[in-house]
Amino acid sequence: MKPKFNQLFVVGGSVLTGLLLIVLIGFFSQYIMTRVAPGLSFHILGPSTLQIGSKATITWDTSPENRAKYPMEKIEFCSDKSGKDCIVLALSVPNNGKATVAIPKLNVGKGYLKLSARDTSGVLANGLRSLSSVLGIADTTKEVEVHDGTSNTSIVETVSTVISTITPSVPPPSQGQTTVQSCSGMNGVSEPCYWRYEYNANACAGGACSKMVIFFSGGEMNCDDSYGNSNTVYGKILDSYAQDGYVAVCAGTFITNKGGQSTPYSQEATRVDTLVKDIRASADIRNAWNGQQLLFSGVSHGATAPVTTMAQTTLDDQVAWKGTKTTGACFLDGMYDPVAADAFLQAGTPRAQCDALHTATACARYFNTPNFCPAVTRSNSVAAQDTIVNTNPSVFAISNWKLVECGSALSACGVAGNPTAGDALPAGPIQQLCANIQGTPQRSCTFGSLPDQSHQMCAGTPQGINECQGWFDGIAR
């Protein structure tokens, strides 16, 4: 039986109505995005890869309008772009453009990060729950590649076995130096890592020392200038610690300052971890140190890359990063907010000196250019990966912290011909990160200030050395 005309009219009208509704929704979506709610849409900036068993820093663009409407964000990993098959990585984080999350066991290969805006009660603001996927305001996704982290696990197990089976026996030489060739090629840089140690058996009652410091070199990567020379900055540092009963280690993630300027700090994690494991697995170190008290320290670059590694990965959870009794972290004049640091240099004088520092600290690292480059801004996704000032301190495996600023009473950018002979970094982010750690349960941080000590020299002055050495002596037990 053929359908009646009025039935066809009704069906056709319904189809036309549906099509019209779709067009209206599309128009309404565009209107909302551009007129009613400018600034409410957002996009995930990074990362592009996730590694199982590590931490990842998720960054997204945000705005005052977005934060006002949606103060919180929910972060998920989804197997497909539809966002239906998802695992929650963070239920509710501040909508400040950045959050660090742990990456659980996921399927290796392609997946999607999903960000969903939430109000303070945990639901979509302004009744947009059902319309969010249509309007495109409250949800966004980014394709990522998931990598297996099991290769790291095997390294950890190997180092753990070595650490637990090597026991102190014959005292090693009082000093030594090692080049770590396995670092070559990491981050696309051909340079190896290296470290050198010094210890005084007499200061350790003729036996194994109970304390060890791993001091990470600044950007000049000059640990080797202290070999047999106690008049250099690192020579003074190692001598002081060794005379106080420490096994004193100076570690360089690269061997030249050019290498140190070539890559974002967040991408140095494998170099930092490789150095720590190589030091801990050394027979000389195991014979000189009984494994009880471990202090991580460093200045400038050496106060930045290790702390960034601890903030953005779970590498510091491994046994190689821990003393059997006490573990501490004390760092001098690290950079924990590259945008704030660059703004400090942009406002400083003399301009030639500040421009030189900006070029050295930002151009190759964040713009892949060795010469003059634009100012670092919040929209620079690479710099965002290095911004850890607002990291949730509970991600740090180490509980005991001290962070020290240097040079705040000196002129910015130093003197002619020596830009690091003054104040090279703002004190604010250092103090803020320390305050955040101090305000976190089961974490503590002491803030130190050496306002009259330059960025270049503060670590090697008696005051600078005592800031960390004296502090750790007080908590080592």
Per domain, the residue ranges of the chain are 44-147, 173-475
Q: How many CB atoms lie within 10 A of CB 33?
A: 16
Task: Answer for the pair 453, 461: CB distance below 8 angstroms, yes or no.
Answer: yes
Task: Answer for the pair 336, 428: CB distance below 8 angstroms, yes or no.
Answer: no
Question: Could you give the CA distance from residue 352 to residue 68 in angstroms, rounded to a whole number?
Answer: 40
Q: How many CB atoms lie within 10 A of CB 314?
A: 17
Among 67-76, 283-292, 349-358, the least confident range: 67-76
Task: Classify the C-alpha dihedral 377-298-276-187 as positive or negative.
Answer: positive
* Nearest C-alpha neighbor of 427 from the set 352, 361, 337: 337
Residue 211 banded pLDDT, cuts 50, 70, 90: very high
The pLDDT assigned to 123 comes to 43
Q: How do 444-450 and 400-406 pair as beta strands? A: parallel
Task: Answer for the pair 225, 449: CB distance below 8 angstroms, yes or no.
Answer: no
pLDDT tens digit string along 404-454? 999 999 988 877 767 667 899 999 999 999 999 999 999 999 999 999 999
Task: Answer for the pair 183, 271: CB distance below 8 angstroms, yes or no.
Answer: yes
Residue 287 banded pLDDT, cuts 50, 70, 90: very high
- As a whole number, mean pLDDT of residues 42-59 equals 82
The side-by-side arrangement of strands in the sheet containing 72-78 is 49-51, 139-147, 109-118, 72-78, 86-94
- As a whole number, mean pLDDT of residues 237-264 equals 94
Residue 8 banded pLDDT, cuts 50, 70, 90: very low
Question: Could you give the CA distance from residue 80 to residue 134 in angstroms, rounded to a whole number?
Answer: 17
Alpha helices (runs of H) in 150-191, residue ranges in sequence order: 150-165
Is it the case that residue 173 has pLDDT exceeding 80?
yes
The pLDDT assigned to 292 comes to 95
Q: Degrees (nearest 5) of the Cα angle 359, 364, 365?
A: 105
CATH architecture of 173-475: 3-Layer(aba) Sandwich (3.40)
Higher pLDDT, 162 or 364: 364
Q: Which helix (H) or strand (E) holds 89?
A: strand 86-94
Mean pLDDT value across the chain: 81
Task: Answer for the pair 44, 142: CB distance below 8 angstroms, yes or no.
Answer: yes
Is it the case that residue 160 has pLDDT exceeding 50?
no
Query: Under CATH, what is the fold of the domain 44-147?
Result: Immunoglobulin-like (2.60.40)
- Looking at the whole model, is its pTM more than 0.75? no
